[in-house]
Chains A and B, each alone.
Chain A
Amino acid sequence: MRSMTNLDNTVSTPDSQVIQGSSGWGMIYKRLRKNKAALIGGYLILLLIIVAILGPLFTVHDPLRVDYSTRLLSPSGEYWLGTDHNGRDIFTRLIHGTSITLYIGFLSVLVGLIIGLPLGILSGYYGKALDSFIMRCIDVLLAFPGILLAIALVSVLGGSINNVIIAVGVFSIPGFARIARGSTMAVRKLEYIDAVRALGASDLRIIGLHILPNIVSPIIVQATIRIAIAILIASGLSFLGLGAQPPTPEWGAMLSQGRSYMFDHPHVALYPGLAIVTAVLAFNLFGDGLRDAIDPQSKG
């Protein structure tokens, strides 16, 4: 398992990684299959997706309806993980919340990718003044410690799932921009790019046909790990009351509401937390495994 921080905005992309990334998806898949941790992560992600799509069809309780007669019950055969302060089945709410968590994770990373990737490629491809300008802007985004920018953005935009996606997406931009820039610069220096240019290929063609395919793999690794971070941040924002609003069965929001009852009824806070850990762990494991499979030399 490659040991590297999963927060790295500083990750460098050596030439070797870029070239190896294009050495065939078959090889990568083979190496990935040998990595047990990555397999566990992959299967967990698959399971989460299946639960998100099919799970709500099989739950017997209502995730939203308030019923004080079943308030704060401990786990039992009827209520597998107990009920919350509004008498709602926690297991049902967790199942219904899975799709929200994945939705926020995937979409916020997509927002960061759609903005960060072109910025990074432009920066790395054209260099000079444009590069300096873009990188200074990225530096400004990075000057806000950790999740502070996301908190600040949600505080002015208002708490909602979509605003969380925007805020976490903006938070993810620098990571993608830096990796795309580094990879683009590494590929651009290769001789065959000069050859293609000499043949009269346009910048757009070079970027689309030659640069982009070469930077896909580091970007996929980054995206996978970013989803894990996005899920963590989003749950934190909801916990602060800045994200998903009640009665949405979002896991962070469930923790936030269950907080006052957890001392006498620990199940209201225990299980939503475990659900978050599972989802984050799944993407971290899979991301780690992907990185090792794509760049075996980095294996620690």
Chain B
Amino acid sequence: MLQFVVRRLIQTIPVVLGVTILVFSLMHLIPGDPAQIIAGEVAPAAQVEAIRERLGLNDPVPVQYIRYMGNLLQGDLGQSVRSSRSVVDEIQPRIWVTMRLALYSMILSVMLGLVAGVISAVRRYSLTDSMLMVAALFGFSMPAFWLGLMLIKLFAIDLALLPPSGWGTWQQGILPVITLGTAGAAIIARMTRSSMLDVINQDYIRTARAKGVKERVVIYKHGLKNALIPVVTVIGIEMGMLLSGTVLTETVFAINGMGRLAIDAIRSRDFPLVQGIVLIFALIFVFVNFLVDVSYRYLNKRIDLN
């Protein structure tokens, strides 16, 4: 197991390197002169030159990348061009808001998805099954931001039950978490259903039933435990959708998290800040995937690294 963890950890190194190259390149994908765009079209030449100097855009690209990596290894993500604070200081107070939003939504997705998926599988082809699966289909065919707007209209404006925006109290958390977690719940429900059905048809389940094991035990102990294995992989992918989904959800609910910071940074053309946020999001996701692979391995020891 330890050997697997170490090998898997080493595998992430080229990916992380590639991610830094791509994030670094973002600045150079900007059509035209990045310094001019940051300064604005009517900015005096001296100001543009100052920005160019500050971002080190006058040096050859490889030199820029090496300097970028050098700073990165020291925990320096550069400086915001708008606030002149360091990118790390800008991100730090907001990262936990976003992580908590994503985590709570994940918990909702998994709980709702597993319950719905198991019920659907156990009562296959019943009315309940059909209704749950139609709901799931709508769940991931719906734009999350639209769902969020409709929830605000219904629960915050018309019924006045919950606050329409913000983050902090548990009441403020409910609508954003439902908004962000619904699509994931739908996908996990579908995955759990098909995975459960695969397992239920296996010989050992029939054997357990033949032995007279209670149906409840068959479903939860023998069935769900094995059906969970493919579901864990989906949860990993889901985490990616959730992390980036925070951008839309935070925009809809005016939550001061990292996603909204990203949109503000994009609007004010604060490219170093955009780069920093994208990098942090990607690193978190690489780490989450690492954890998913390790738990996948733990659940299913037969899997080979390749």
Contact = CB atoms under 8 A, between A and B. Distances in A.
Contacts, number: 167
A111 to B, nearest CB: 16
Contact of B26 (A140, A152, A284): A152
Interface in A271-288: 273, 276-277, 280-281, 284-285
A40 B57 CA distance: 55
Contacts of B31: 157-158
B40 interface: no
Q: What band does the interface of chain B fall in when counting residues whose beta carbon is under 8 Å from A?
A: 35 or more
A123 to B, nearest CB: 15
A145 B142 contact: no
A300 B146 contact: no
A253 B248 CA distance: 13
Interface string B219-263: 000000000000001100111111111011001000000000011
Nearest to B157: A263
Contacts of B27: 156
23 contacts: A3-B191, A7-B241, A8-B234, A10-B233, A143-B286, A144-B240, A146-B240, A146-B244, A147-B247, A148-B243, A152-B26, A156-B30, A156-B274, A236-B143, A240-B247, A240-B248, A240-B263, A252-B143, A255-B146, A273-B142, A276-B142, A281-B137, A281-B141
Interface of A: 1-10, 136-137, 139-140, 143-148, 151-153, 155-158, 228, 232, 235-236, 239-242, 252, 255, 259, 262-263, 266, 269-270, 273, 276-277, 280-281, 284-285, 300
Interface of B: 14-16, 18-19, 21-23, 26-27, 29-31, 133, 137-138, 140-146, 149-150, 153, 157, 187, 190-191, 193-194, 197-198, 233-234, 237-245, 247-248, 251, 262-263, 266-267, 271, 274, 278, 281-282, 284-286, 289
Given A4-B191, A144-B240, A240-B263, 14 more contacts: A7-B237, A10-B237, A136-B18, A140-B21, A143-B282, A144-B244, A145-B284, A155-B26, A156-B30, A241-B263, A255-B145, A280-B143, A281-B137, A284-B137
